[in-house]
Every structure is written in structure tokens, then in C-alpha cells.
Amino acid sequence: MINETLIPKLGVITEIRQDTPDIKTFRVVSPEGKKLFEHRPGQCAMLSIPGIGEAMFSITSSPTNTEYMEFSIKKCGCVTTWLHAAEPGQNVTVRGPYGNPFPVDDVFAGKDLLFVAGGVGLAPLRSVINYCRHYRDRYGKIDIVYGSRSKDDLLDYQEIINEWATDSGVNVHLTIDREQEGWDGHVGFVPNYVKELGFDTNKIAVLCGPPIMIKFTLEGLRSLGFEKTQVYTTLELRMKCGVGKCGRCNVGSKYVCKDGPVFRFDELDELPNEY
Amino acid sequence: MRKISLSNLDKAFALIAENAKLYIPVDGKGGASFKLWQEGVKMSDALNTVRSAKDFFFPQMETLMEFKTEGKNIEIIDNRQEKEDFVVFGVRACDVKSFEILDRVFLSEPVDSYYASRREKGVIVSLACGRPSETCFCKTFGIDAANPAGDITAWKTETDLYLLANTEKGEKLLSAISSITEDCDGKAVEEQKKQISAIMEKLPLSNVTTEKFGAGKTKEYFDSPAWDELSSHCLGCGTCTFVCPTCQCYDIKDFKTNEGVQRFRCWDSCMYSDFTLMAHGNSRASQKERFRQRFMHKLVYYPDNNDGMFSCVGCGRCLTKCPISMNIVKVMKTLGGKEND
């Protein structure tokens, strides 16, 4: 019987981190304690709890992590609510990896990089950021602009503060939507902050966050002189199969699961506005 | 070419059924449908079955795998099994073509093993359409109702059934019934082909063309104001997608049984509001967007991804079954303009 992509592998949740009030990060390995499969930065995997459902999540851990995979998951539907109630030791099923990764080894190589994320939109970018940090000498300067509703809603806050911000050549710019006690950093929305910071255009930008953030950040970058060919994002639509057959995640003739989820903005211009 | 007298057809069916499950179109209350042949079951004379023949390879519901869960533990049970040999007799030209369209989806990498194993085991005996009807427009998509594809092509006259093998599978099946068939020239078949072609020319939809559609036409049609009017009465019932031989969208769901969990696949419809519904919203929130998706997929998106091939075979099922009489022909005529009328 030939291999079947719809039949998943068995995974075990070994660690659950409460990142924000509504986001938890799940560490998953095989029953033997090994990494389930290799992936590239920006790829996704289907996670399921039999009887509850199956859903697509970005793999937030870097491919350079050889021990496990991590998924940062916001509580917002059936599968995610169930996962948020789970405890370490819980089995899950995993299949993947699906989709195209960010072009980290060719287009990004040797370039300055700007990552812009909002809320749980950091999850897919964390994989890329940590990949680029791992191979630090392959890339130029790295800027990371990350914003959330409040300090408590910043995903991976400890890692950002303790690891990313202390790396040489990596600049982290955090912002929260409204003033908050105990926060002396920037206050304001991500798109405005990006414009205020005023980046030079000699770099690749990668955006991920709520649609409204992406829209205005792209406009901000355009006003700074960025071309759409320099700006990447990753899309999310409802998926069932992950391999371009179940028919629901298409935008025009492109399937987000198979032709995406990573798209360049000039590529998105070629597609109908239905995402 | 071989022929068999219609009076011997039951004998041929009995011979075929010795080695494989045989399905033939049979008349029923709601129209014809493919049924397992057994002694006494008679073949329908209906032009086509109510539902398409896609069920044979892509059933409306099938179990993909099972799970046993206990506490925090999960056991994944791959219960895929070798499929049995089967023969589908009397598939019309449109439905035969639909298999090629489905193949492009399910047999492209990564191959869908459930579909592939049925495709491997199934033998298709097609049947030329003696009397194409006014809802037929297979010709629009380059399909010849007089000369359908399949492992074996069959032509039925008043007295005989003519059989021509097109593949190795077909040759094998023909040899299994060689004792009751005889060699013949193709004169009667040529005569029937001419008659069918003459009828096709006169059909009311014979002038529908695909000229205005195909790969690369997304920008031309996506924002057309015509979608508002075309979709305005759509009930979102999904009937068109269920009777369609080329609609292939599916859902995967879990069902809790007493023993564990069954993960099954079932047909889904892009016409349904929850098809693209996510926790944070719906990318196709209105019926207009869902309606547009179905026809853009058949006329533009599928051709984009499949060397210009359309995902419609002109079987006409949606024309007869849509409760508000909306269909792909009206969409093509409206979007394609007067030239297509």
C-alpha cells in the first residue's frame, strides 16, 4: 500500500508553555522522543486530536532545532480550545510538512531583513527569525518589529528579550497598542511604528499578523519606498487536506496549502482579493 | 471489434460477474443509478444516471483511518485494504471524461491512495449515447458522445452490443467473454456514430463554446458585475456539486464510535457557507463569492492548473437538478457575451 499523506504520525506533547493569556506553545516529539520530521522555515503541519478535529498550524520552532517541534496556538476554535485544556503527555497526531518555506537560502541570503509581526502572527516568523539567527553570518542586519495588544499578549517575550535583543546585529522594536503600567517601551500600532522607525529600503521585509495590520504595514513600507517584490507574507485559510485536493484554501488558482502559504506581495497582486 | 446479441447480454454479465463485481445502470424510483448486477437485474435504457459515476473512485463517504484513544494515548489504525476488482458497465462519454479530470487532482503528487487503489481495480466499459438530450453539451468540451473513451467502448443497436477494447484491461475483459461474442466489422457502429453526430449538431446547447474561458482569465471575470445577478437566487443547496461528475471538494471529519474514532472523508460543497469558515472569519462570506468560486474553478482556475483542461464535461445534470434553474451554461452565456448565445 503506497504512503498516504492523510494518515498522520503519532506525536506526544512534552511541554506546554502559557505564553500569553490566550496563546500556549506546545512542544511535540515522536513517542521515541525524537523530532517527528524535518521542515523548512515557514512550513506548516496538521495537528489533530481524534474525535475533536484536525487543523493546520505553522511550525514555530526553527528547522535548526534537531530535538523537537513547537506550535504556538491561540485559543479560538474547537481544536485549539481542546489543546489549551490538554496536559503534557497528551498524544496528538501530526502530518506534514506542508507548503512552501520562505526563500531563506537564496533570496534572503546576504540581505538585511526586516520582520514585522502582530499578535500570534509572530508564530510563523519565529521559525524564520531563529533560522536566520542560527546562520547569523549568512544574513545582514536583522530588524524585528513586533506588537501586540498589551505586554502580556507579546508572544515569546522572554526569548525576545533574553536572546533576540542581545544578539549582535539584531534590533528588536517592541510596541503595544495602549499605555500600560510597567511598560516603558513604545506604544502604538505596528504599521505606524514601522513608518516612524523609517527603514532604508535595501532589505527584504516579511509581514505576518492580522489582515488589517498587514494592509497598513504594506502601505507604510510602500511609502518608505519598498517595492512589493521585496515584501513577503504568509497566508492562512481553512484547510482540510494540506495538499491542494480538498478544494477550499484556494485564492484564484493558487492553493494556500500547496502554492503558499508564503507569498510575495507582487504575487498576491496577481490573485483575486479573496483572502 | 466484437459483438454480442442483446439476448445474450445477461450471459455476458454473468461471465464478467464471476471474476469481478459488476455495476450497471438500473432504473429506479428517482431515475437510473449504478447497481450491482445480479441474476435478473436489467440494464436501464436511460440516457444517464441521476448521480454521476464518480462514486466508484471517489465515494460520497469513506473511512480514511481509525483511532483508539484511552486517556492521553492515541493509537492510529491504518485500515486501508486492497480493493476488489470491479467493472462499471455503461458509463457515458461525459462521465468517462470526468475520471480524467478527477485523476489530475487525486493522482497528482502526493497521490491519494484511496482513489488510486480504486482506479487501479476498476474497469470502465463506456456506452455511446444513442439519443443525447437537450441538456447535453459534452461537445462543448471536446467530448464525442458517439465515441466515448474507457477501457472498452460499447455501442448498442436494436439487436446487438458492439465492443471495442481500448486498453489492456479492456482486452482482458473482452477475452473473458469471447465465448459468447463474435468478430464483426464496424459498419453498424459507423452508422450509429453518424446518427449521434447528427443529433449533437441539432441540440439546443450545441453552440456553447469555451472560447472565452480557460487559463489566465481570472482578472477578466473575477470582478464582473454579472456575478451579482447570476448568483442572486442561488439557494446554496449544493445539489449542483453533488450531482456533478467533476466536483471533487471534500471534507475530513471524525466520528466517535463505541470502539474509538473513525476519520472519514465525505463530499463537501464550495456552495456551503461553512466551507471556508474559520475562527476569525470567512474568506467567501457571501453566496455570490461561493457561487463565483464554483464556476471560476471549473472555467478558469482548473484550466490554469491543468494545461487548459476544463473541469466540466457537459453532462447537463446541474441543468436538470438546480431548483432555481441556474447552471454553468447560463454563466458561460452571460459572462461570455452575445457571441456565446
Reported as a single tens digit per residue, the pLDDT across A211-253 is 899 999 999 999 999 999 999 999 999 999 999 999 999 999 9
Residue spans of the domains in chain B: they are 2-63+70-202, 218-340
Going by pLDDT thresholds of 50, 70 and 90, the confidence category of residue A3 is confident
Residue B341 is predicted with a pLDDT of 52
The count of domains in chain A is 2
pLDDT per residue of chain B (341 residues) written in tens, 0 to 9: 999 999 999 999 999 999 999 999 999 999 999 999 999 999 999 999 999 999 999 999 999 999 999 999 999 999 999 899 999 999 999 999 999 999 999 999 999 999 999 999 999 999 999 999 999 999 999 999 999 999 999 999 999 999 999 999 999 999 999 999 999 999 999 999 999 999 999 999 999 999 999 999 999 999 999 999 999 999 999 999 999 999 999 999 999 998 899 999 999 999 999 999 998 889 999 999 999 999 999 999 999 999 999 999 999 999 999 999 999 999 999 998 765 55
Residue B68: φ, ψ to 5°: -115, 135
The whole-angstrom separation of Cα A235 and Cα A44 is: 11
* B268 contacts in chain A (CB < 8 Å): 240, 246-248
A129 and A87 within one domain: no
Contact in structure between A94 and A11 (CB atoms under 8 Å): yes
Q: What is the DSSP string of A135-198?
A: TGGGS--EEEEEEESSGGG-TTHHHIIIIITTSTTEEEEEEESS--TT--SEES-HHHHHHHHT
The whole-angstrom separation of Cα B322 and Cα B328 is: 11
| Among candidate residues A64, A98, A132, the one where a domain is terminated | A98
Going by pLDDT thresholds of 50, 70 and 90, the confidence category of residue A132 is very high
A126 and A197 within one domain: yes
With CA atoms as reference, the chain B residue closest to A78 would be B279
What type of residue is A98?
Y
C-alpha cell of residue B332: 458561460
Residue B340 is predicted with a pLDDT of 52
Does residue A260 belong to any structural domain of this protein? no
Residue B116 touches chain A, beta carbons under 8 Å: yes
Distance from CA of A169 to the nearest CA of B (A): 36
Residue A258: φ, ψ to 5°: -110, -40
B26-50 per-position pLDDT tens digit:
999 999 999 999 999 999 999 999 9
A117 and A94 within one domain: no
Alpha helices by DSSP H, listed for chain A, are 78-85, 122-134, 157-159, 190-197, 211-223, 265-269
pLDDT > 90? residue A274: no
A119 and A42 within one domain: no
Residue A250 is predicted with a pLDDT of 96
Buried b (16+ CB within 10 A) or exposed e, B195-211: ebeebbeebebeebebe
Residue B76 touches chain A, beta carbons under 8 Å: yes
A170 and A91 within one domain: no
Does residue A82 belong to any structural domain of this protein? yes
What type of residue is B247?
C
On the question of a cis peptide bond just before residue B59, with omega within 30 degrees of 0, the verdict is: no
A145 and A37 within one domain: no
Q: What is the DSSP string of A125-136?
A: HHHHHHHHHHTG
| Among candidate residues A56, A73, A98, the one where a domain is terminated | A98
Closest CA to A207 of A268, A136, A273, A146: A146
Q: What is the DSSP string of B33-50?
A: EEEE--TTPPPP--SS-S
DSSP state of B291: H
| Among candidate residues A98, A120, A148, the one where a domain is terminated | A98
Does residue A271 belong to any structural domain of this protein? no
Cβ-count burial of B40 within 10 angstroms (0-12 exposed, 13-18 middle, 19+ buried)? exposed
Q: What is the mean pLDDT of chain A?
A: 95
The whole-angstrom separation of Cα B234 and Cα A10 is: 43
Q: Tell me how many degrees the CA angle A37-A258-B222 measures, rounded to the nearest 5.
A: 160
Does residue A192 belong to any structural domain of this protein? yes
Does residue A163 belong to any structural domain of this protein? yes
The whole-angstrom separation of Cα B80 and Cα B62 is: 11
The CATH number of the domain where A50 resides is what?
A: 2.40.30.10
Residue A266: φ, ψ to 5°: -70, -25
The whole-angstrom separation of Cα A190 and Cα B287 is: 34
| Chain A interface disruption, residue of B283, B296, B299, most A CBs within 10 A | B283
Neighbours of B84 (CB within 10 A): 10
Interface contact B278-A237, CB threshold 8 A: yes
A264 strand-pairing partners: A232
Closest CA to A60 of A18, A11, A26, A31: A26
A68-115 per-position pLDDT tens digit:
999 999 999 999 999 999 999 999 999 999 999 999 999 999 999 999
Residue A163 is predicted with a pLDDT of 94
Interface contact A91-B73, CB threshold 8 A: yes
Q: Tell me how many degrees the CA angle B278-B282-B283 measures, rounded to the nearest 5.
A: 120
Does residue A272 belong to any structural domain of this protein? no
A132 and A221 within one domain: yes
ipTM for the assembly: 0.92
* A275 contacts in chain B (CB < 8 Å): 283
Residue B338 is predicted with a pLDDT of 60
Considering the entire predicted model, what is its pTM? 0.94
Question: Who's near A231: CB < 8 A, 6+ residues apart?
Answer: A204, A205, A206, A207, A218, A221, A264, A265
Neighbours of A18 (CB within 10 A): 10
Residue A275 is predicted with a pLDDT of 84
Closest CA to B26 of B116, B88, B113, B104: B88
Q: How far is CA B228 from CA A248, B223, B232, in A?
A: 21, 10, 6
Closest CA to B318 of B207, B215, B234: B234
Alpha helices by DSSP H, listed for chain B, are 9-19, 93-106, 113-121, 168-176, 187-202, 218-222, 226-231, 239-243, 287-296, 302-305, 317-321, 328-336
The whole-angstrom separation of Cα B260 and Cα B262 is: 7
Host domain of residue A146: 112-234
Residue B279 is predicted with a pLDDT of 86
Neighbours of A189 (CB within 10 A): 16
* Interface subset of B 271-310, CB within 8 angstroms of A: 275-280, 283-284, 289, 293, 296-297, 300-302, 304-305
Residue B93: φ, ψ to 5°: -55, -40
Does residue A76 belong to any structural domain of this protein? yes
A153 and A57 within one domain: no
| Chain A interface disruption, residue of B72, B219, B227, B297, most A CBs within 10 A | B72
Contact in structure between B136 and B199 (CB atoms under 8 Å): no
The CATH number of the domain where A116 resides is what?
A: 3.40.50.80
What type of residue is B77?
I
Does residue A77 belong to any structural domain of this protein? yes
Residue B304 is predicted with a pLDDT of 97
